C-alpha cells in the first residue's frame, strides 16, 4: 500500500446543502474535525419565506420547490461566517460537497459569461439574481410528475427495464420526469435553459465559476444515466425531452476534480489559487463515505428530513423497489438505498400533536410504553410517501390476540391512540417498514447498523433500532455525516489528483481510523433475540396491512 498521508498543514472543506440547511465541516490532514458551521434556511434567510427549506405549491398538487437563489445566499453567508471566525482559507487544499439528491437547477442562456467573471467586491446573491430560467428548483419532495414517470417507463420498455438501465424505476422526484414535465408544460423555460444542474453540480459550479459536471453517483438519481457504463442513456434521454444531452453536459466520477476554485473566492476570501474543487455528490452517497461503510454487512440508517437506509453491494440487480447508484468512493461497487419522505418532519408533527412539542416528552413516552406497543401499529404519512407510494394520511390499527404467532390475529382500525402509544407506533412503524423493505429489496441482514442524521442524536430512537433489527447500533461523532463525508471526499479527490490515479479511500485512514473523526462508536447493543422474533411477526402483519393499503390507495 502506498503512503497516503496528507500534508500536515492542509485542511479539507466539505459542505452539505440539504433540505433545511447548509452545513460545513473542516477536516485536518489527520482527518479530525477542526470546525463546523451551519446556516438554517428558514430562520437565517427568512426573506425566502420557506417552511422546512421548501415551498409547497398550494395550487399544484404535489409540487414542492426551493428558491434556487436561497442556496446561493446561504453559500455567501456561510463563507462570511468562516471569515468572521478568522478561519484561514489559505490552508484549504480542496473543497467538496454534498447536496440533497434529485433537486434540479435551470441556468438561463448566456449566464456562463457572468458566472465566469464574478466581481469579488459583491456577494454572489447580488450577481446571480437573474441567472435562472426557473427561479424555483423542483426538489426531492416533489411528487407532481406521476404522468411523466409512466410515459418514460413505457417509452423505454417498462418499469423494470428502466430500473435495469438506470438503477431505479421512474420516481416522481427524479430529474428525468421533472425535466419532461417542464418541457411539456413550460416549453419556453426549457428553450431558455442553457444548462441543467443537480443541486450538487450547481454548488460546485458556483465554486469553479463555470458549469461543473454531474457526478456518476448523483447522476444515477435522474433516470437518465446508464448505470453500467456510467454515461447518458440515449434511450432514456429520448424518452425524456429533445436536445437534452447538450443541456446536461458531461458526467464525471465523484473523485474527479471539477476545477480550481474561481478567482472570486481567491480575491474575496483568500482561498489559495490551487485549491481544488472535487465533484460534489448527493447527501446519501456522501454519508456513505463519511460513515466509512465498506462491507456488505454494514447498513446505515439516516434519520434526516428524509429517512434513508443504505449499504453497499457488489452488483446491480434491477428491482421495482429501492435505488441503485454507483458507489461514490469506489469505481466498481454500488450503493443500494431505500428512501422515505416521512422522516423527521413527520416525527416533529407527532411530537407537536402528542408530546407538547418536546423531544424530552416524546422520549418519556417511548420509555413509558412497552416494546411491540401492545399490538398497536400505525402508518403515518404527513406527506405523500415514496415507500410505499401512499397518499398523505394516518392509519392506525390494534391487533387483537397478538401473542406468539400470527394465528388468530385480527386487526381493528381505530381513529387514534393515546399520545404515548401514538409516539411508539410512529417510531416502531417507521423502523419496521425499513426492516421489511430492506429484506424485500435483498439487503442482507445487517451485522451492525450505523445511525446518522439529526434524529440519530436521540438515544431512545437508537434503542428501538437495536431492538427491531436485532443488531448493535453505532453512531459517529456528529450527526452530520454528509458534510463530514464531503470533507473526506475532498481529501480523497485531492489525493487521487496528487497520485494521478484512483486510490482506495480506505488507504487514507487504514490503520488509524480510531484516531480520526470518522470512527464509529457503539451506541446500543443488540436487542434480545426473543423480542426480535416478536418484532418479526409484527413486521409480517404490518406488511400485510401495508399491501392492502397500497392496493386500495396506492399510485402504481
Ligand atoms: P437534513 O440534513 O435532511 O436537512 P438533518 O439531518 O439536519 O436534516 O436533521 C434535521 C432533523 O433532525 C430535524 O428536522 C429534527 O426533527 C431532527 N432532530 C434533531 N434533534 C432530534 C432529537 N433529539 N430527536 C429526534 N429528532 C431530532
Ligand atoms: C434520496 C432522497 C432524499 C434526499 C434528501 O433519494 O430523495 O434522501 O437526498 O436530501
pLDDT, tens only, 108-134: 999 999 999 999 999 999 999 999 999
CA 453 to ligand 1 centroid distance, Å: 6
Q: Which ligand is nearest to the CA of 217?
A: 2
What is the average per-residue pLDDT within 299-308? 97
Q: Do 224 and 327 lie in a common domain?
A: no
371 grid coordinates: 416494546
Q: Which ligand is nearest to the CA of 143?
A: 2
The C-alpha R_g of the chain, in whole angstroms, comes to: 23
Contacts of 554 (CB under 8 A, 6+ apart): 388, 389, 390
Res 531: pLDDT: 96
What distance in Å separates the CA atoms of residue 40 and residue 135, rounded to the nearest whole number?
Answer: 20
Res 173: pLDDT: 98
Res 405: pLDDT: 87
What distance in Å separates the CA atoms of residue 246 and residue 422, rounded to the nearest whole number?
Answer: 51
Residues contacting ligand 1 via CB (< 6 Å): 18-21, 304-305, 344, 347-348, 359, 453-455, 457-458
CA 309 to ligand 2 centroid distance, Å: 11
CA 287 to ligand 1 centroid distance, Å: 15
- Least confident range from 115-124, 291-300, 351-360: namely 291-300
Q: Do 154 and 228 lie in a common domain?
A: yes
Q: Do 409 and 512 lie in a common domain?
A: no
Q: Is the dihedral of CA 90, 96, 98, 101 positive or negative?
A: positive
CA 143 to ligand 2 centroid distance, Å: 13
Q: Do 369 and 299 lie in a common domain?
A: no
Question: Of 454, 457, 480, which is best to mutate to test ligand 1, by the most ligand atoms within 8 angstroms of its C-beta?
Answer: 454
Q: Do 379 and 472 lie in a common domain?
A: no
Tell whether the model's pLDDT for residue 305 goes beyond 80.
yes
Q: Which ligand is nearest to the CA of 307?
A: 2
Q: Do 218 and 317 lie in a common domain?
A: no
Question: Of 306, 307, 338, 454, which is best to mutate to test ligand 2, by the most ligand atoms within 8 angstroms of its C-beta?
Answer: 306
CA 394 to ligand 2 centroid distance, Å: 22
- Where residue 84 falls among pLDDT bands split at 50, 70, 90? very high
Q: Which of 502-509's residues contact partners 24+ apart within 8 Å by CB, and which partners?
A: 502/253, 502/255, 502/331, 503/2, 503/4, 504/330, 505/289, 505/329, 505/330, 506/292, 506/294, 507/1, 507/2, 507/4, 508/4, 508/6, 508/31, 509/31, 509/292
The ligand 1 atom nearest the CA atom of 20: 4
Contacts of 17 (CB under 8 A, 6+ apart): 71, 74, 97, 98, 99, 100, 199, 200, 203
- Where residue 267 falls among pLDDT bands split at 50, 70, 90? very high
| Strand 298-303 relative to strand 307-313, pairing | antiparallel
- Where residue 556 falls among pLDDT bands split at 50, 70, 90? low
In angstroms, how far is CA 235 from the centroid of its own chain?
Answer: 27
CA 348 to ligand 1 centroid distance, Å: 9
Looking at the structure of the chain, the number of domains it has is 3
Q: Which ligand is nearest to the CA of 351?
A: 1
Q: Do 50 and 154 lie in a common domain?
A: yes
Show the beta-strand stretches assigned E in 143-253. 193-198, 214-215, 225-226, 231-232, 251-252
What distance in Å separates the CA atoms of residue 514 and residue 512, rounded to the nearest whole number?
Answer: 6
Any domain includes 4: no
What is the average per-residue pLDDT within 62-77? 98
Q: Which ligand is nearest to the CA of 222?
A: 2
Q: Do 393 and 405 lie in a common domain?
A: yes
- Tell which residue, 36, 95, 53, 34, has the closest CA to residue 487: 95
424 CB within 6 A, ligand 2: no
Any domain includes 511: yes
- Tell which residue, 185, 91, 111, 110, has the closest CA to residue 147: 185
Mean pLDDT of the chain: 96
Res 367: pLDDT: 98
The 10s digit of each residue's pLDDT in 407-460 is 999 999 999 999 999 999 999 999 999 999 999 999 999 999 999 999 999 999
- Give the range of the structural domain holding residue 366, as residue numbers without chain letter: 344-445+527-553
308 CB within 6 A, ligand 2: yes
Residue predicted with more confidence, 535 or 404: 535
- Tell which residue, 26, 16, 386, has the closest CA to residue 199: 16
pTM: 0.97
Question: Of 139, 304, 344, which is best to mutate to test ligand 1, by the most ligand atoms within 8 angstroms of its C-beta?
Answer: 344
The ligand 2 atom nearest the CA atom of 283: 9
Q: Do 62 and 181 lie in a common domain?
A: yes
Q: If you ran DSSP here, which 8-state letter would residue 226 be given?
A: E
CA 221 to ligand 2 centroid distance, Å: 9
What is the average per-residue pLDDT within 30-39? 97
Percent of the chain with pLDDT over 90: 94
Tell whether the model's pLDDT for residue 527 goes beyond 90.
no
Q: Do 255 and 316 lie in a common domain?
A: no
200 CB within 6 A, ligand 2: no
Any domain includes 2: no
Q: Is residue 493 within 8 Å of residue 278, measured between CB atoms?
A: yes
The 10s digit of each residue's pLDDT in 478-515 is 889 999 999 999 999 999 999 999 999 999 998 899 99
Any domain includes 285: no
Q: Do 31 and 56 lie in a common domain?
A: yes
Tell whether the model's pLDDT for residue 1 goes beyond 80.
no
The 10s digit of each residue's pLDDT in 309-344 is 999 999 999 999 999 999 999 999 999 999 999 999
Which residue shows C-alpha cell 395550487? 59
Any domain includes 195: yes
Q: Do 412 and 355 lie in a common domain?
A: yes
Provide the H-helix boundaries in 369-446. Answer: 419-440
Any domain includes 286: no
The 10s digit of each residue's pLDDT in 216-243 is 999 999 999 999 999 999 999 999 999 9
Any domain includes 541: yes
| Residue 405, domain CATH | 3.30.420.40
If you take atom 8 of ligand 1, which residue's CA is the nearest one? 304
Percent of the chain with pLDDT over 70: 100
| Strands lying side by side in the sheet with 55-56 | 55-56, 64-67, 136-138
Any domain includes 74: yes
Amino acid at each position: 500500500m502506498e503512503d497516503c498521508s496528507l500534508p500536515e498543514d492542509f485542511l479539507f472543506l466539505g459542505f452539505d446543502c440539504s433540505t433545511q440547511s447548509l452545513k460545513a465541516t473542516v477536516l485536518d490532514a489527520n482527518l479530525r474535525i477542526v470546525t463546523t458551521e451551519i446556516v438554517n434556511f428558514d430562520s437565517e434567510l427568512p426573506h425566502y419565506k420557506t417552511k422546512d427549506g421548501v415551498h409547497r405549491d398550494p395550487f399544484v398538487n404535489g409540487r414542492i420547490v426551493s428558491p434556487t437563489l436561497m442556496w446561493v445566499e446561504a453559500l455567501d453567508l456561510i463563507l462570511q461566517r468562516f471569515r468572521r471566525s478568522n478561519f484561514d482559507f489559505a490552508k484549504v487544499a480542496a473543497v467538496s460537497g454534498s447536496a440533497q439528491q434529485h433537486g434540479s437547477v435551470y441556468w438561463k442562456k448566456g449566464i456562463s459569461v457572468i458566472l465566469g467573471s464574478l466581481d469579488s467586491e459583491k456577494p454572489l446573491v447580488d450577481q446571480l439574481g437573474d441567472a435562472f430560467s426557473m427561479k424555483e428548483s423542483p426538489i426531492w419532495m416533489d411528487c407532481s410528475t406521476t404522468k411523466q414517470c409512466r410515459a418514460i417507463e413505457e417509452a423505454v420498455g417498462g418499469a423494470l427495464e428502466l430500473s435495469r438501465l438506470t438503477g431505479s424505476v421512474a420516481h416522481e422526484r427524479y430529474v428525468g420526469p421533472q425535466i419532461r414535465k417542464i418541457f411539456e408544460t413550460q416549453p419556453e423555460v426549457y428553450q431558455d435553459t442553457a444548462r441543467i444542474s443537480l443541486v450538487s453540480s450547481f454548488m460546485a459550479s458556483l465554486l469553479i465559476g463555470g458549469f461543473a459536471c454531474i457526478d456518476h453517483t448523483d447522476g444515477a438519481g435522474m433516470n437518465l444515466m446508464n448505470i453500467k457504463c456510467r454515461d447518458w442513456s440515449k434511450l432514456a434521454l429520448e424518452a425524456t425531452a429533445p436536445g437534452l444531452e447538450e443541456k446536461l453536459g458531461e458526467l464525471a466520477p465523484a473523485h474527479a476534480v471539477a476545477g480550481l476554485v474561481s478567482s472570486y473566492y481567491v480575491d474575496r476570501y483568500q482561498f489559495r489559487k490551487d485549491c481544488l474543487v472535487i465533484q460534489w455528490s448527493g447527501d446519501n452517497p456522501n454519508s456513505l463515505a463519511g460513515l466509512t461503510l465498506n462491507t456488505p454487512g454494514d447498513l446505515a440508517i439516516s434519520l434526516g428530513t428524509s429517512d434513508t437506509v443504505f449499504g453497499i453491494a457488489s452488483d446491480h440487480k434491477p428491482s421495482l423497489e429501492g435505488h441503485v447508484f454507483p458507489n461514490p468512493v469506489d469505481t466498481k461497487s454500488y450503493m443500494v438505498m431505500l428512501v422515505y419522505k416521512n422522516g423527521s418532519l413527520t416525527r416533529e408533527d407527532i411530537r407537536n400533536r402528542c408530546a407538547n412539542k418536546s423531544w424530552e416528552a416524546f422520549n418519556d413516552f417511548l420509555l413509558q410504553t412497552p416494546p411491540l406497543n401492545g399490538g398497536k401499529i400505525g402508518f403515518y404519512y404527513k406527506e405523500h410517501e415514496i415507500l410505499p407510494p401512499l397518499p398523505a394520511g394516518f392509519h392506525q390499527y390494534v391487533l387483537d390476540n397478538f401473542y406468539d404467532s400470527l394465528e388468530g390475529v385480527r386487526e381493528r382500525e381505530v381513529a387514534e391512540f393515546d399520545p404515548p402509544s401514538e409516539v411508539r407506533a410512529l417510531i416502531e412503524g417507521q423502523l419496521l417498514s425499513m426492516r421489511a423493505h430492506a429484506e424485500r429489496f435483498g439487503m442482507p441482514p445487517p451485522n451492525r447498523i450505523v445511525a446518522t442524521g439529526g434524529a440519530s442524536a436521540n438515544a431512545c430512537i437508537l434503542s428501538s433500532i437495536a431492538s427491531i433489527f436485532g443488531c448493535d447500533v453505532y453512531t459517529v461523532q456528529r450527526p452530520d455525516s454528509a458534510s463530514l463525508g464531503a470533507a473526506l471526499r475532498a481529501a480523497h479527490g485531492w489525493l487521487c489528483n496528487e497520485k494521478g490515479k484512483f486510490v482506495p479511500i480506505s488507504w487514507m485512514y487504514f490503520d488509524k481510523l480510531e484516531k480520526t473523526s470518522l470512527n464509529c462508536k457503539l451506541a446500543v447493543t443488540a436487542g434480545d433475540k426473543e423480542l426480535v422474533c416478536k418484532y418479526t411477526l409484527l413486521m409480517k402483519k404490518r406488511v400485510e396491512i401495508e399491501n392492502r393499503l397500497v392496493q386500495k390507495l396506492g399510485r402504481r
